Amino acid sequence: MRRYDPATALIVVDVQNDFADPAGSLSVAGGDGVVPTINAEIDMAMAAGGLVVFTQDWHPESTPHFAKDGGIWPVHCVADTWGAQLHPALHTPHEAPRIRKGVNGEDGYSGFATRDPTTGRETATELDALLRDRGIGRIVVVGLATDYCVKATALDAARLRYETSLLTDAIAAVDLTPGDGAQAIDEMAAAGVRQWQTRMR
């Protein structure tokens, strides 16, 4: 089975310096280790005429997402800073769209929707429309972090009726509590997200 074709999108979730670089402010264990694995997928998807989409966590300097403003996270992925940039070793074809989440201070983890931190109202990002526009029916999810943005993005993809797969060796978890990453993988599986390893195709 070929993993990529023109009706398949590879969604590369938040492979940004603050998560992927060991010096990042919300550095995920093993985050830089998945970059070469993800690069091989990007190359394969592009070669097969598939769509590659990069999501980026994209916060203002103050947001209830951050511990200093009442949330739980250290300051990370502030718009236009080093931490918000895609990891420099990541293959980033210039035609691959970028979806930036949180531009207006919204919270939320999914690449498909943001959430107003005060009202809780969800707003769709441009991702679903972009995928529908390109005739995408299948989605492959990789990136960071398994227990937050990868999980939220994959669950939304499945809910939106895309045939959704997760590459379990191309993700890494925050694991605030040990086991969070494994539990997230179980939740995705229960929602119908298929699991593969990159060497299986």
Active site residues: 14, 101, 149
141 vs 144, beta carbon nearer ligand VGL? 144
Among 14, 32, 106, 156, binds ligand VGL (CB under 6 A): 14
Binding status of residue 32 toward Zn ion by CB under 5 A = no
Which string of x and - marks every residue 75-114 that binds ligand VGL (by CB under 6 A)? ----------------------------------x-----
Among 127, 144, 170, 172, binds ligand VGL (CB under 6 A): 144
CA-based max dimension of the chain: 48
Binding status of residue 184 toward ligand VGL by CB under 6 A = no
Residue 119's identity, in one-letter code, is: T
Binding status of residue 106 toward Zn ion by CB under 5 A = no
CA distance 3 to 8: 8
Residues that bind Zn ion (CB under 5 A): 57
Residues that bind ligand VGL (CB under 6 A): 14, 19, 57, 73, 109, 144-145, 148-149
